[in-house]
Amino acid sequence: MTRHKTAMTDQTQHNASQNPDSAAANSMWGGRFSESNAAIMQAINASIDVDKRLYAQDIQGSMAHARMLAKQGIITGDDAEVICKGLAQIKTEIQEGRFVFSQELEDIHMNVEARLKAIVGEPAGRLHTARSRNDQVATDFRLWLRDQIDYSVGQIDKLLTALLDQAEKHAETVMPGYTHLQPAQPVTFGHHLMAYVEMLTRDKERLQDARKRLNRSPLGSAAMAGTGFAIDREATAAALGFDGPTRNSMDAVADRDFALEFLAAGAICLIHLSRLAEELVIWSTPSIGFVTMSDKFSTGSSIMPQKRNPDAAELIRAKPGRLLGAFQTLAVVMKGLPMTYAKDMQEDKEITFAAADALDLSLAAMAGMIEDLTAHPAAMRAACQKGHLTATDLADWLVRELGMPFRDAHHVTGRVVVVADQKDCPIWDLELADLQSVEPRITAQVFEVLSIDASVASRRSFGGTAPERVKAAVAEARARLNV
């Protein structure tokens, strides 16, 4: 295969050398070059297989540019009208699958321009006045990423809605809370789910914040120094829904920090999803049995008919690597690049597109899993019988009722736990005499705070797990997040 490719390359070079004018004519950036590219050069240089995804944004930007050129008297109004009609036709052709993309034309910009010339003729050549592919691709990419962020935020909203619905339903469902994956204190299932509401809210805010910074138009920065034509960058920025033009033409074409910021925010979001996914895997294990995943998000085994595998959760658990890898890849691409544009930056879109797909798929799958989730309150309550979950409540009672310093109360409670372990029962099932053998001043009143329900109900501090607090948190989140 390698020898065959080499032979084809040699033949291509031979043909070009025999007919240099033809080779130059076949190149969209010809004139300077007398020979066509080697086949391998064409393969490594072309990006159309990736950036054709930008077709709608490319056409949108070109229409805005053409209309601005006409308004400024740089091209005629008739030419602008013809150009925009041709671009609209190209968009329809692409949407209907009738457009033939050419790798020889390198990218989406040249593919669209070449087709435009075939449709409208000479006016197509005037479209690229006062712009470069450098500012064109930066504009397209920002437009695409802006749309992508809006879509991802919508996906987060769907997941937030599913979490809030379940949290409200289970505001009074008690379960063990864990630290170090060891039983710690009783909480409610609703309170546990609301923790992820907070995480995802910050993820949403990070994406929205990144959107604010990217929403500046590079169009009109041209190759890197601006243009001598009397263009109106404010007009094209407004037409494309940007907050305004970028302030420095070199920075506009040279940086991809807006993509890095999206990847960083997306990676953090997927890290949060992976934590929830891991808990779903643990909770759905039959030996724990806190939840059951619906058939829509579970799979079976090819050999063990009893198996019910949480594959969707496991796949989400693995997805952060895609976003983290994409961030690192793009960061390494950009690291150390001199001003301004360099072809290295062509690597930005493939990894960002793939990362965005992974983020959206994970958000959609998690929303579906949470929405269809069946919780098992009895199993959760039964699990609260292990681990002496109200030990902290005993220590707090000693502080409140006996005036004991908390560190002393902590020590006394630890000794009570030892007695309970020796008797193989939770601390709330000990006899009063057992408690008084450790601390004689303890009274029967202590049993009012040692039950699971009493413990949960007492955590009424802001952000606490008391059912009344959970219900209030759900209502506040719905109003604040508008979901």
Out of 17, 22, 294, 301, the active site residue is 301
Distance in angstroms (rounded) separating the CA atoms of residues 458 and 450 = 11
Catalytic annotation present for 301: yes
Out of 4, 14, 180, 461, the active site residue is 180
Catalytic annotation present for 221: no
76 Rama sector, left if φ>0, alpha if ψ -120 to 50, beta otherwise: beta
Residues identified as active-site: 180, 301
